[in-house]
Structure 1
Amino acid sequence: MTPALALLHTSPVHVPVFDALRDAHHPGFELRHTVDASLLERARTAGPESVADAVGTAVARAVADGAGAVLCTCSTIGAVAERVPAGVPVLRVDRPMAAAAARERRVVVVAALEGTVEPTVDLIRGAAHGRAPYIRSLLVDGAWALFETGDRDGYLAAVVAAVDGVRDADVIVLAQASMADAAARARTAIPVLSSPRPGLAAAVAAATSGAATPR
């Protein structure tokens, strides 16, 4: 029997996104979603380490329920989740995206939350393995307020406008999973990377094999 994959979200908007990716690329694979918006709220005000115990509890509960791996879809707390000793792979959704970006020379990280910028930049630098990509960040002013009010189209439009305004880059990284649809809407010729599809693929592989992905 193939083990299930548990997903830890900080917004309910991610549930249909990952279900759709599962249906398209991993049909029949069982996903179990846990949504806790308070984790991001607390991480934003007190720092990601402030939610370490709560994340550990959520991961332990998922493992006790039979999950073969756990995927954290929030970039802000992803590093905290990865450090949880769980007995099964615990992955952050943006690691495969960061590995792809780290192969390029000039990287622009687009984010809607300031607290997501540093973890994403650090992840890309760590994936560069001796290379030194030039990384700069772009915070989309006002985008997160649109997201919080449920204006998804306005949120994505703000992200797309920022992405299409980027110059002098080899790749653009969308720092948050909620930005993924902006990649298809952008008109830039610069490659735009988002995390949900490669992150889910890595987590499904980890759950199936029972082995953590390389870091």
Structure 2
Amino acid sequence: MRITCLHTADSNIAVFENAAQELGLNHHEFRHISRPDLLAAAERAGGLTPEILEQTAQVLLALSQDCDRVLLTCSTLGAAAAVAAENTQVPVLRVDQALAEAAMKTAGKVVVLCAVETTLGPTGQLFEQTEKHPDAALEMRLVAGAWGKFKQGDLAGYWQTVAAAADAAFREGAAAVVLAQASMTGAAQFTQRGKPLTSPECGLKAVVAG
């Protein structure tokens, strides 16, 4: 199967390559396209505007012309996947859809951690709209200071900051902790209190199954 991933951070290419290897998906052909400009535009605009949504959907449509699946790995731009999917026969998935579905099956408090402010709205909306366990209680949190470290190229510091926030949530009784953005995945190896859910693992399983 030919799977094309659209990223908005170059560093996420390695994140998804590693996740695919760990899941034993090496027999599939992965192609990675990085468009940091799309996320940068959303950050400047303070969120996902109709123009950026349409631009992202057009990029996804173009990528769908020569592959079997398209996976959008950016949480801020996630809504563009559904727009693109309406105009192509090729499945176009957002990486955090499967993440939300897995998390909201949990009974108890589900804490979703975001590193960048533009992700809070789209991610919160996605999780709210996902079918959930009757006892699931959603809480969205922004990890203060994390995104600044990421933009400075301090990945280790970024992951440590996110891991500390995840451990704090587990300490406070969270039944599930979710790392909303793919770039946060590396933090899972540093947590002490529990294993957070990450989008590359959930998203890649879904794209192969779908």
The TM-score, its normalising length taken from structure 1, stands at: 0.87
1:93 Cα deviation after fit: 0.4
Cα distance in 1 for partners of 2:51, 2:122 equals 15
Give the gaps of 5 or more residues in structure 2: none
Cα distance in 1 for partners of 2:105, 2:20 equals 27
Match of 1:174 in 2: 179
Cα distance in 1 for partners of 2:71, 2:34 equals 12
1:130 Cα deviation after fit: 7.7
Q: For 1:91, what is the secondary structure of its paired residue?
A: strand
- Asked if 1:22 corresponds to 2:20, the answer is yes
1:82 Cα deviation after fit: 2.2
Q: For 1:94, what is the secondary structure of its paired residue?
A: helix
For the aligned residues, what is the CA RMSD? 1.6
Identity of aligned residues (%): 36
Q: For 2:32, what is the secondary structure of its paired residue?
A: strand
1:133 Cα deviation after fit: 2.8
Cα distance in 1 for partners of 2:61, 2:142 equals 34
Match of 2:144 in 1: 141
After superposition, where does 1:27-66 map in structure 2 within 5 Å?
27-46=26-45, 47-48=47-48, 49-64=50-65, 66=66
Cα distance in 2 for partners of 1:192, 1:171 equals 7
1:204 Cα deviation after fit: 2.1
Give the gaps of 5 or more residues in structure 1: 207-215
- Asked if 1:88 corresponds to 2:100, the answer is no
Task: Give 4+ residue runs of structure 1 displaced > 4 Å after superposition.
Answer: none
Cα distance in 2 for partners of 1:130, 1:156 equals 29
1:72 Cα deviation after fit: 0.3
Cα distance in 1 for partners of 2:117, 2:131 equals 22
Cα distance in 2 for partners of 1:60, 1:95 equals 19
Match of 1:195 in 2: 199
1:68 Cα deviation after fit: 0.8
The TM-score, its normalising length taken from structure 2, stands at: 0.89
